[in-house]
Chain A
């Protein structure tokens, strides 16, 4: 083997090549070893399995009231809006960032809620109560009019306590607020007039 040794400036090219190959192979092994460790960060099978649809009875939900249920660890709000509140949704849409829910419709608004009231039944709103900015749960500000942290012409809706994003009673975000999207309407379906299934589109 010694006759094939090429030496430049005291460097044995053959040894140098083997060092490079060994380092390369070592790096590949290192990355391969890191894969299972990084993978452990992903949600476990148990976390993935927990996400079943939730059944809610809304027969006791009165006009202008809200009910909160837990779905996938998140609050889902069901609000029975008054006829005046539903009628008000058509006004002042100029103040809203995305009145027609055109942004990210596949994630935020299922086809049956792509309307002005963002719901199947005009009076019953079903939204995930998590702000689309950084995931706080906005607080109820249902009464209209001026109040702290809200504009004088407040139509009623929600105020996020974390960064001040505001949403109207259809979960639509107002302009110039940190939240980019309207509140998410989860997949849901009416099993009967007063029974809702949240988490699935088809009963």
Chain B
């Protein structure tokens, strides 16, 4: 415990009160450590708005959510009507609901931009691995939160979306069917499912989310923010131990971020007031029809932010497994031929490849039940899960000698560009009804998506890197 402080006799009442508090709670200490004496690099650009914006959207979602729960009924017989009641009869209820539904999409836009910023400037690299991992965990929670929240209006999309996603778990060998039964709490998506999803959506996941956000910020403030040059500003400090290229977060970035907040709120309000359904992308048309357990709408698709992963799930067919067979064989042969491994490691590679190939069903033709492999359905679920989980490994996949895209070979920018385009195309394909051409495109997209990550340890080291400056590049306005 720090020493007991005494305010000077002639101090104002405010100072005396703060001294009293500081002797009992580290108010000033927290303020200094996280705001007034947290030194952030002075060269932040546009991409650095999205962290504080994510926090803003989190607050919007929590506040609007509290008010929605006051009128919503988590009951299969009443849920749909209670949402319509909020929309029609509750004074301004429509606005609160539209803020919440638009907030969900805004959250994903902001978080995708925030993550892409990390890609651009290598913000996940040492020593910020845990900042990144907490962030990926936040992203996972956000996906769970969005998915469970989507069931609550109990529309057709709510119902069939939940049906599909819960059934994903049943593809897991042995425990799958029981697991999806435990998630639903019934043999079909029903009142029991709605009630538990409500519980998860309004209390369980938000609590975890808040804890992770705190961990994310504490980890960030421990190591300090990265910047567009990918240089550690702590390496160059003045006589007082303050980074030469650092400026206090408050007032510099707190005020700076207000500009981002203003810009964001202009766009957010425009959607809330003029296009809350966003042409069926933020609120899907089929969700204005009450859930019917006997009839799937003719075209169902997840909300836009899930569609890239959903595309990859749909792309994993039996034909795709044959492509995976070839890729695994090529990778194994390259590893044995080019890789500098000992004989034990080589044996492990051969055995592991054979196990994976068996899983893909390469040896199904033998007719031996033990070699039948797993269904494409299971691999589809694994591909979809893997497409998100792979993000956690970014700090170790990226082996480039510099952090920031600014000092990497120009063709790396093209690789990032292709990745972004592939991600967007996969997102588009996930909204569209399946057909053979689109499935083939999604299959190419899936290979490119995973290729970007799995080959990163090699391609990220290749090319001619530019010299990294000692100090950050900064042009005063």
Contacts and interface: CB of A to CB of B under 8 A. Distances in A.
Contact of B183 (A41, A162, A176): A41
Contacts of A137: 294-296
B412 interface: no
A179 interface: yes
A160 B313 CA distance: 15
Contact of B300 (A47, A162, A178): A162
Interface in B282-315: 293-300, 313-314
B186 A178 contact: no
A43 B314 contact: no
Interface in A120-149: 129, 133-139, 148-149
A135 B135 CA distance: 32
6 contacts: A73-B190, A75-B295, A135-B163, A163-B313, A163-B314, A177-B317
Contacts of A135: 163-164, 166-167
A76 B334 CA distance: 52
Given A42-B181, A179-B377, A74 B317 contact: no
Contact of B181 (A43, A133, A162, A179): A43
A176 B319 contact: yes
Given A74-B293, A136-B300, A176-B317, A47 B376 contact: no
Given A133-B377, A178-B380, A180-B376, A43 B300 contact: no
Contacts of B434: 149, 163-164
> Which interface class (under 10, 10 to 19, 20 to 34, 35 or more) fits A?
20 to 34
A51 interface: yes
Nearest to A77: B294
Contacts of A129: 294
A112 B296 CA distance: 29
Contacts of B377: 133-134, 178-180
Interface string A67-101: 01010111100000000000000000000000000
B435 A164 contact: yes
Interface string A42-78: 1110010001000000000000000010101111000
B436 to A, nearest CB: 9
A26 interface: no
A70 B293 contact: yes
A138 B187 contact: no
Contacts of B183: 41
Q: Per DSSP, are chain A's interface residues mostly helix, strand or loop, or mixed?
A: loop
A148 B376 contact: no
A75 to B, nearest CB: 4
Contacts of B166: 135
A178 B377 CA distance: 6
A136 B160 CA distance: 7
B433 A149 contact: yes
Interface of A: 38, 41-44, 47, 51, 68, 70, 72-75, 129, 133-139, 148-149, 160-164, 175-180
Interface string B434-455: 1100010000000000000000
A42 B182 contact: yes
Interface in B144-191: 160, 163-168, 181-188, 190
B196 interface: yes
Interface string B174-212: 000000011111111010100010000000000000000
B384 to A, nearest CB: 11
B375 interface: yes
B296 A139 contact: yes
Contact of B164 (A44, A136, A139): A136
Given A73-B187, A178-B317, 11 more contacts: A43-B181, A51-B187, A70-B293, A75-B295, A133-B377, A136-B163, A136-B296, A149-B435, A164-B439, A176-B317, A179-B377
Contacts of B319: 176
A20 to B, nearest CB: 29
B266 to A, nearest CB: 37
Contacts of B439: 164
Contacts of A47: 185-187, 190, 192
A48 to B, nearest CB: 9
Nearest to A73: B188
Contacts of B313: 163
B318 interface: yes
A161 B432 CA distance: 10
A176 B318 contact: yes
A25 B439 CA distance: 54
A129 B165 CA distance: 18
B187 A43 contact: yes
Given A43-B192, A47-B192, A176-B319, A162 B160 contact: yes
A190 to B, nearest CB: 23
A140 B178 CA distance: 30
Contacts of B184: 43
A191 B208 CA distance: 55
Nearest to B319: A176
Contacts of A149: 433-435
Contacts of B380: 178
A72 B294 CA distance: 11
